Structure formats: structure tokens, C-alpha cells
Amino acid sequence: MKRVLFKVIVPAVIIAVWMLTCYSVCNKAEGFDWFLYWIIAGCPFGIRRMCLWLIPKNFGISGSIGVLALNCIIGGLFGGVVLIFKIIGIAGELISIVTGHFWTKSPKVEI
């Protein structure tokens, strides 16, 4: 039960709440902005990887803000891919839990 809670339910709820929050931001009168949704939804999953590559130091205030903005944009694009793989991983874990409860492995009998 602990495995189901921490590997399936909690990550799925956090991702769903974050994506619903991003949906209301990207829904405009002209239509839905998919590119902005991709960047905003992926930003928390990719920004920590981008801050390892582009570190804003030895710049002025405008250079540091520019590097942080670039980190957010590129981190959001990478994070969108990471988000897709996390959703696939959650689905795979759910499938392995469900199939593990229905089919049990029988021990091998040597003849």
C-alpha cells in the first residue's frame, strides 16, 4: 500500500494539480496557447537541470535576470519532456502493481 501511495498516487496528484493550474493560465480569449502550456508545465521539472548548466554569475543585474529567464524557458522545454516520461513511469508502475496482484509467479519445480 505504501508503494502505491508514494509511487503512483502522490506524484499523479501533484502533476494533475500543477497541470490544471497551468491550464487556467494558458487559456486565453483567442484560444489555448500550447507552447506556453508546455513551458509552464515543464518548468518545475527542468529548471533544476538548467541551473546546473547556466549559472548566472559575473553578470550585472540585467545579465543575471536574462540568464534566469533563459533558464526558465529552456528548462521548461526540457521539463515538458521529463514530465511526459514521469507520466509514462507512473502508468508503468500502476500497470506493474495491478498485474502483480492478479498474476503471481509460481516457483519452478525441477523434475
Dist. CA 52–CA 71, nearest whole Å = 10
At 106, the pLDDT band (50, 70, 90 cuts) reads low
pLDDT in tens, 26-71: 998 899 999 999 999 999 888 877 777 777 778 888 888 888 888 8
Dist. CA 61–CA 68, nearest whole Å = 11
User: What DSSP character marks residue 27?
Assistant: B
Residue 39: C-alpha distances to residues 9, 25, 26, 81 (Å): 24, 12, 10, 10
Dist. CA 17–CA 37, nearest whole Å = 14
User: What is the pTM for the complete model shown?
Assistant: 0.77
Domain boundaries, the chain: 2-102
The three cell numbers of residue 77 are 522545454
